[in-house]
Structure 1
Amino acid sequence: MPELPEVETTRRKIEPLLAGRTILNITHDAPHRYRDTHLAQGRRVSGLSRRGKYLLLHLAAPDAPEEMPHDLELIVHLGMTGGFRLEEGPHTRVTLTTDAGKLYFNDPRRFGKMAVVPAGEYRGMPTLTGMGPEPLGDDFREEEFARLAAQAGAVKPWLLSQKPVSGVGNIYADESLWRARIHPAQTHLTREEAGRLYHAVREVMAEAVEAGGSSLGNGSGNYRQHDGDVGFFQGRHAAYGRGGQPCPRCGTDIRKVVLGQRGTHFCPECQPLRAEGGRQKADG
């Protein structure tokens, strides 16, 4: 599933194609999945931004001055396999036509969503409404993260909730926890553990954005950009997807378990499960 680095790369790639352009039409055959897209017709795309795993197209009235704030937003969630393309394909679900041409939203597994809403009104989107700070932004503060982590249950599901920090999904949770040497089922992080994880999240996300995200596998649902480019961070994965392979740090086989209904990868030697009170439990 596209996470923050993949969505940020998407934003950067399609912004030159859409910014300043007028949307002439958005066509699809699933109004329950792509809501109120007719409201974007005739609107100018004044800019693109991202919040966690969500892409936001800012829509201004066609005659609005450049400096006037936008009053509508087209919210895009890529789902598990969604992405934009320059050409129509067998999995095209949405066609976005502007005064400069067409952009196609492909989604083999049909989990992607779009909605046009008044700017900043996300009441029908609880994940977006309750999302934590951006991991690379100034609002993501170590002391607050540590305070929340001290009260948290199993740390990986907690990260995936999007509440302590936004945009972290399965791939980057595994990678951040491996770097921080923290077991994914660890609860109630100490101040020192939380500090390690805070810095690991920031480092992993920054590196993944720089690498254009992670592209896994070769199927039709493999993440890639509209121009065919793939991400390169998968070559740096130390834990995710490496079950049974040696840990790059100590050589112990990476273990794969299911935690919170998600496949989870970790090193049982580098990431021991600490019992409450300081003792260590058996891994797994």
Structure 2
Amino acid sequence: MPELPEVETTKNGIAPHILNKTISAIEIRQPQLRWPIPAEVSEKLPHQIVRSVTRRGKYIGVHTDAGTLIIHLGMSGRLYFVAPNIPPLFHDHVDIHFGADEPILRYTDPRRFGAMMWQEGEWTGHPLLNHLGPEPLTDAFNVEYLHSKAKGRKQAIKQFIMDSKIVVGVGNIYANEALFMAGIRPTRAAGNISKARLAAFVEAIKEVLEAAIAQGGTTLKDFIGGDGKPGYFKQELKVYGRADQPCRVCDSVLIEIRQGQRSTVYCAKCQK
């Protein structure tokens, strides 16, 4: 599943090509994604000017005067540009047109776990977004905030930090990496971690996300950015996907366990 850096990369990839352009038409070939695409998308989006493109958590907002098209890439969704004469393939479900001679912004999604929704007014008021915690790369996500949320919590720190009500966008890959960088064992109860160690964790989360965004996201089997280029962060991963390999710091064999149906890889020597 694309995580925050991949979504940010996609947003950054498509924005320069659609900002201040008029949407001439939207072609929906398959309306049944994770949820049915609402009728307002095809009724209200055409003839609107794209005023801005933003991200909240793993959601991309394409903002117009009429409202916001909210896009979630799901497990395997992808946005990319094609020339007007390129016919759609089987999994190409939605085309956003910007004129006869302009490239088409095409949405493809083999598993159809993604979504396209519509919101008038403030887009963060949509039910999919109104419960989300702070963005991890903002000042609102700091040690004081995280310490207050973790106090008394018995939940494992990895599952705790992946809760979008606590903070958005820290998915499985980056939770693994940040915990390793901060020297925190993923199974440790969130409420049993000192404030000083949580401060290191906050900084590690910011560092690993910023590094991934700078390198264009993490290349996994499904992700390609909005500019058509894959991410290159995978080569930098220290623990995720490296079970039974030597730790890059101490050479101990990395351990893999399952937490909440997700793979967790850690070093028993470096992470306490």
Amino acid at match of 1:216: L
Q: 1:200 aligns with which of 196, 200, 204?
A: 204
> Which stretches in structure 1 are left out of the alignment for 5+ residues?
61-70, 273-284
What is the alpha-carbon root mean square deviation over aligned residues?
1.6
Q: Per-residue displacement from partner, 1:25-61 (whole Å, max 9, x unpaired)?
A: 222222543223112122111010111111111112x
Contact kept? 1:252, 1:267, Cα under 8 Å = yes
Which SS does the other structure have where 2:213 is aligned? helix
Would you say 1:214 and 2:209 are equivalent positions? no
Deviations 1:50-73 (A, max 9, x none): 11111111112xxxxxxxxxx511
Q: Distance in 2 between matches of 1:162 and 1:255?
A: 26
Counterparts of 1:227 and 1:191, CA distance in 2? 40
Cα drift, residue 124 of structure 1: 5.3
* In structure 1, distance between residues paired with 2:247 and 2:4: 25
Question: Which letter maps to 1:72?
Answer: G
Structure 2 counterparts to residues 254-265 of structure 1, below 5 A: 254-265=254-265
Partner-residue secondary structure (3-state), 1:34: coil
Tell which has more relative contact order, 1 or 2 (C-alpha 8 A, sep 6+).
2
5 Å-filtered alignment, 1:205-244, equals 205-217=209-221, 222-244=222-244
1-structure distance, mates of 2:265, 2:41: 39
Q: How many equivalent pairs are there? A: 257
Tell me by how many angstroms 1:208 deviates. Answer: 0.7
**1:1-284 maps to which residues of 2 (within 5 A)?**
1-28=1-28, 29-31=30-32, 32-35=35-38, 36-38=40-42, 39-60=44-65, 71-87=66-82, 88-99=88-99, 100-121=102-123, 125-126=127-128, 128-152=129-153, 153-187=155-189, 188=191, 189-217=193-221, 222-272=222-272
CA displacement at 1:86 relative to structure 2: 2.1
Aligned to 1:270, the other structure's residue is in SS state coil
| Amino acid in the other structure paired with 1:34 | I
Superimposed CA distance per residue, residues 247-279 of structure 1 (whole angstroms, 9 cap, x where no aligned partner)? 11111111111101211111122123xxxxxxx
SS state at 2:211 partner: helix
Distance 1:227 1:13 in 2: 5
Counterpart of 2:107 in structure 1: which amino acid? Answer: F
Amino acid aligned to 2:147: A
Q: How many angstroms apart in 2 are the aligned matches of 1:90 and 1:107?
A: 9
Question: Aligned to 2:264, what secondary structure does the other structure show?
Answer: strand
Structure 1 runs of 4+ with >6 Å offset = none
- Percent same amino acid at aligned positions? 35
Distance 2:200 2:168 in 1: 18
